[in-house]
Chains A and B, each alone.
Chain A
Amino acid sequence: MERFDSPFYRSMLRSVTKPARYVGGELHAVDKSHAFFSLCQEERVHFALSFPDLYEIAMSNLAIQILYSALNSDEYVFCERCFAPDVDLRAFLKERNLPLVSIETMTPLSNFDIVGFSLHYELAYTAVLEMLDLGGIPLRAAERSDSDPLIIAGGPIACNLEPMAPFFDLVLLGDGEFQLPMLVNEYKKHKASKSSKVDFLRHVCCMDGVYIPSFYEPHYHEDGQLKAIKVIDPYAPQSVRKALVRDLDSAPVPHQPIVPNMEVTHDRMILEIFRGCARGCRFCQAGFTYRPLRERSPKTLIEAAQRLIDSSGCDEIGLLSLSTSDYSQLDHLTRTLLPIAEPRHINLSLPSLRLDSFDFELAERLARTRRGGLTFAPEAGTQRLRDVINKNITEDDLFDAARTAFENGWDRLKLYFMLGLPTETDDDVEGIIDLTMRLLAIWHDIPKDVRAKRLSVTVSTSFFIPKPFTPFQWERQISINEMRRKQKQLADGLRDRRISYHWHDFESSVLEAVLARGDRRLASVIERAWREGAYLDAWHEHFNRDLWFEALSLIPGGADFYTRERDDDELFPWEHLDIGVTRRFFERERALSREGRVSLSCFDGCSGCGCGVWHAGICSQTSSIEQKEEGNHE
């Protein structure tokens, strides 16, 4: 019987908001159950691609589409999706003691061979526990038997999953599109040979990017600082190096992505133009962990775009990267894509454009399809602080870009800043106000018949969160009182009917900082918070600060222990992981930031970050890498 023929299923759908989240059946969703389940048990792998947030967030994510399509290209693998239920469905399932199931075939999570979580932000951790629990799977790896599914995780925050380490059997570090299918293939062999789970983990633990948390044991000083990370399994390597796709053109682009039936948060097709970043902004984790910068060729992208348009019917294509204007052939790419997109009313969106290279001719060309607002991210209010964070743009860049924008009829401007950056003073906060007011003055100076009728400026601030694998990984996060004071200073200074000011929540910023640089001791904190009811913490309406701060009292020093400045020689919980950039490079960068000195981007020359050893992407084009790198690797 089809699920929709069941009165019980229909009553479940009528008991929740947005039932379309759970019913599947989207275009290009894969259902190969007939062929797959007729394969012999031992030769097939059933994989639950899981995302610990709601459908509309999960289906906005490119990684889900890439991995889904890569895994399903193997006829012996059936990859289904499983996402976090909203609170109403969660309550429905719990009241009736029903398990969380996959979207495609409604298989309970506990019946899969592998459950793989794609993790993108720390505030999703409790949803991982909830999904495992609802799925009928014991939470901790140590509690699971060989008959339970293998629980794995990957994604951008895999570079420090120590707070979640006890819950995962295996973590994948780095690019997943080749590594994950390879791992699944090894699992297939393991299943056929009927070897034990630990034998399988030992067999794969030397593959690039494969990290087995249970093979490493952290030891702490009395004050809670990390003393050592001991390798406790004879097969485990001392250090785990991330997996890297050296040539992005060889990586699969999903040509037939799932087209969601309901509106999702980023409702567009995504074209990843390059991975990595050459800039080295000192607060930006992705800017370092995705290094080296590797481009896709225009030829690959144009073919992919054409296929995406034909197969999805979407009205928007977004170019994805960490800094779109750094794509070496952006002009050629957009000039080729626009004539394909325009006649079909397809909007081309280019996020993450840099101010110093902002190309108005390009912006005008894009605006012909649909004109949105312009978003700039100066990040800091003064040149001094922008130099500290290595954000190499000047006020002149910003003012020139804004002037040209206003002269060309743009009337909506969004500005992003960070508060609480290392060395920030009240003058720097004042600098944000000053900069915004000068933008208003620029608008004022433009003749009325040239500019649009009304200007609206949105200023958004988030609080600086020190992240692993950045030059600021040693820095402290400011206290909630300081956050409150800085936010008020800004709110008072930005009172103007043309400006609206948004700021990020104080407490969730602290929690994010705690978890980002957290150690394994936090696993009990996360579990406690979840048992007390924490769930979907990234959603403002669900975030419960009291639960979290109470759970954090399990650790001596609480949140302050994790948000404090780290000692120069302190061992980090992620010390045994190798994302390519060396600790020595981060130390050098940190010293430069203290002196307010900027450093080169990879375009200007090699700074010897450590990624040159791969000879991939931009590193293969820089001649002096080898020399500069000598001595960098410890």
Chain B
Amino acid sequence: MSDNRKQRLILFFARRGATAWLAHLDNMRLFERALNRAGWPIAWTEDAFNPRPILVFGLPVGVGIETRRDPVEVTLERCIDVDWMIERLNRSFPRGLEVVDWNEAPDTKRSLMSLVQAADYSIEAPLIGQAFSRTFDGDRPVVVSWVRKGKMREIDIALRIIETYDIRDDSIDFKGGAGSDCHLRVDLLLDALVRDGGLSKEDALGARIIRKRVYGDLLT
């Protein structure tokens, strides 16, 4: 079942194991190659000098972050039998990567990145629950700073934690802001837990970080 109309799909992928330690650009290239190997009819940009396959990730994924349902939009030259092609794609990934679900892309001119608003995270580390409770105690701000483009910036990350689901001794589950407006950087959160919550630096470095789900306008 295939025809010649261009088709836009959102694929949701999980990454674990070795693939969770790739930088975002490497992750993109890995997808491009896997799609090539699996014979997906990816559409290419019409740039004469440096054409690229049209592939848009909803959120960049940082080094050391596992995902369970991160969205990536692919544009295809023609319609395909998606389930069958996803099976092929999953066979062509290195171990650890898997497409777990898909959807037709929403009918909008907005880019996938601009649709993304929030994400669910789970972080595992010894005593991280206490550190989290101590850090986000009441309504007080938790200001962290980082350097961007040579300038020191400060934000209150308490404002970027949207909802807390579950706090245990050795894990926290919460919804954080994502996307261009109020993105929560997990590394900065861990820095704050070390600084204000008494999480040990070693435990922060050894934490398991999982992005479980990404939310956004028109994204299901």
Nearest-Cβ distance from residue A610 to partner chain B, whole angstroms: 45
Task: Tell me, yes or no, whether B141 is within 8 Å of chain A by CB.
Answer: no
Nearest-Cβ distance from residue B142 to partner chain A, whole angstroms: 22
Task: Tell me, yes or no, whether B26 is within 8 Å of chain A by CB.
Answer: yes
- Complex CA gap A314/B21 in Å reads 21
Nearest-Cβ distance from residue A24 to partner chain B, whole angstroms: 6
Q: Beyond A10-B205, A10-B207, is A20–B23 a contact (Cβ under 8 Å)?
A: yes
Task: Tell me, yes or no, whether B139 is within 8 Å of chain A by CB.
Answer: no
What residue of chain A has the Cβ atom nearest to residue B205's Cβ? A11
Q: Are A312 and B33 in contact (CB under 8 A)?
A: yes
B residues less than 8 Å from A14 (CB atoms): 63-64, 205-206
Task: Tell me, yes or no, whether A252 is within 8 Å of chain B by CB.
Answer: no
Centre residue among A27, A311, A370 by max chain B CB count within 10 A: A27
Chain A, residues 331-356, CB within 8 Å of chain B (1/0): the string is: 00000000000001100000000000
Checking A23, A25, A345 against B51 with a beta-carbon cut-off of 8 angstroms, the contacting residue is A345
Q: Are B21 and A20 in contact (CB under 8 A)?
A: yes
A residues less than 8 Å from B127 (CB atoms): none
What residue of chain A has the Cβ atom nearest to residue B27's Cβ? A261
Q: Beyond A11-B206, A310-B37, is A24–B18 a contact (Cβ under 8 Å)?
A: yes
Centre residue among A2, A13, A18, A313 by max chain B CB count within 10 A: A313
11-35 of chain B: CB within 8 A of chain A = 16-23, 25-26, 29-30, 32-35
- Complex CA gap A259/B16 in Å reads 18
- Complex CA gap A344/B37 in Å reads 10
B residues less than 8 Å from A263 (CB atoms): 25-26, 29
Task: Tell me, yes or no, whether A15 is within 8 Å of chain B by CB.
Answer: yes
B residues less than 8 Å from A23 (CB atoms): 17-18, 21
Q: Beyond A11-B202, A262-B22, is A313–B17 a contact (Cβ under 8 Å)?
A: no
Q: Beyond A10-B208, A262-B26, A263-B26, is A315–B94 a contact (Cβ under 8 Å)?
A: no
Task: Tell me, yes or no, whether B125 is within 8 Å of chain A by CB.
Answer: yes
Nearest-Cβ distance from residue A14 to partner chain B, whole angstroms: 5
304-323 of chain A: CB within 8 A of chain B = 310-315
Chain A, residues 434-464, CB within 8 Å of chain B (1/0): the string is: 0000000000000000000000000000000
Task: Tell me, yes or no, whether A7 is within 8 Å of chain B by CB.
Answer: yes
1-28 of chain A: CB within 8 A of chain B = 2, 4-8, 10-11, 13-15, 18-20, 23-27
What residue of chain A has the Cβ atom nearest to residue B201's Cβ? A11
Task: Tell me, yes or no, whether A203 is within 8 Å of chain B by CB.
Answer: no
Q: Are A261 and B22 in contact (CB under 8 A)?
A: yes
Checking B26, B34, B207 against A20 with a beta-carbon cut-off of 8 angstroms, the contacting residue is B26
Q: Are A2 and B37 in contact (CB under 8 A)?
A: no
187-206 of chain B: CB within 8 A of chain A = 202-203, 205-206
Nearest-Cβ distance from residue B131 to partner chain A, whole angstroms: 15
Task: Tell me, yes or no, whether B49 is within 8 Å of chain A by CB.
Answer: yes
Task: Tell me, yes or no, whether A371 is within 8 Å of chain B by CB.
Answer: yes
A residues less than 8 Å from B6 (CB atoms): none
- Complex CA gap A527/B87 in Å reads 53
Chain B, residues 44-70, CB within 8 Å of chain A (1/0): the string is: 100001110100000000011000000
A residues less than 8 Å from B33 (CB atoms): 259, 312-315
Checking B16, B21, B51, B203 against A7 with a beta-carbon cut-off of 8 angstroms, the contacting residue is B203
Residues of A in contact (CB 8 Å), total 34
Checking B29, B44, B53, B63 against A19 with a beta-carbon cut-off of 8 angstroms, the contacting residue is B63
B residues less than 8 Å from A313 (CB atoms): 32-37, 92
- Complex CA gap A2/B21 in Å reads 14
Task: Tell me, yes or no, whether B185 is within 8 Å of chain A by CB.
Answer: no
- Complex CA gap A376/B36 in Å reads 33
Nearest-Cβ distance from residue B134 to partner chain A, whole angstroms: 21
Q: Are B63 and A27 in contact (CB under 8 A)?
A: no
Nearest-Cβ distance from residue A368 to partner chain B, whole angstroms: 11
What residue of chain A has the Cβ atom nearest to residue B34's Cβ? A313
A residues less than 8 Å from B96 (CB atoms): 25
Q: Are A7 and B206 in contact (CB under 8 A)?
A: yes
Centre residue among B64, B94, B207 by max chain A CB count within 10 A: B94
Chain A, residues 284-324, CB within 8 Å of chain B (1/0): the string is: 00000000000000000000000000111111000000000
Q: Beyond A263-B25, A263-B26, A313-B36, is A25–B18 a contact (Cβ under 8 Å)?
A: yes
Q: Are B21 and A19 in contact (CB under 8 A)?
A: yes
Task: Tell me, yes or no, whether B168 is within 8 Å of chain A by CB.
Answer: no
Q: Are B37 and A19 in contact (CB under 8 A)?
A: no
- Complex CA gap A8/B200 in Å reads 13
B residues less than 8 Å from A15 (CB atoms): 205
- Complex CA gap A120/B29 in Å reads 28
- Complex CA gap A8/B125 in Å reads 11
- Complex CA gap A347/B49 in Å reads 12
Q: Are A345 and B44 in contact (CB under 8 A)?
A: yes
Q: Beyond A7-B125, A14-B64, is A261–B206 a contact (Cβ under 8 Å)?
A: no
What residue of chain A has the Cβ atom nearest to residue B208's Cβ? A10
- Complex CA gap A14/B203 in Å reads 11
Checking B49, B64, B126 against A10 with a beta-carbon cut-off of 8 angstroms, the contacting residue is B64
- Complex CA gap A562/B96 in Å reads 52
What residue of chain B has the Cβ atom nearest to residue A103's Cβ? B18
A residues less than 8 Å from B93 (CB atoms): 27
Q: Beyond A261-B26, A263-B25, is A25–B64 a contact (Cβ under 8 Å)?
A: no
Q: Are A10 and B206 in contact (CB under 8 A)?
A: yes
A-B contact pairs, 20 of them (CB 8 A): A2-B17, A5-B208, A7-B208, A10-B205, A10-B208, A11-B206, A15-B205, A20-B18, A20-B22, A20-B63, A25-B96, A261-B19, A261-B22, A262-B23, A262-B26, A263-B25, A263-B26, A313-B92, A314-B33, A314-B36
Known: A263-B29, A310-B37. 18 other contacts (CB 8 A): A5-B208, A7-B206, A7-B207, A14-B205, A20-B18, A20-B63, A23-B17, A23-B18, A23-B21, A25-B17, A25-B19, A261-B30, A313-B33, A313-B34, A313-B92, A314-B33, A314-B36, A345-B51
Residues of B whose CB lies within 8 Å of any CB of A are 16-23, 25-26, 29-30, 32-37, 44, 49-51, 53, 63-64, 92-96, 125-126, 202-203, 205-208
Sort A-B residue pairs by CB-CB distance and give the 7 closest, nearest first: A25-B18, A7-B206, A313-B33, A313-B36, A11-B205, A313-B37, A11-B206
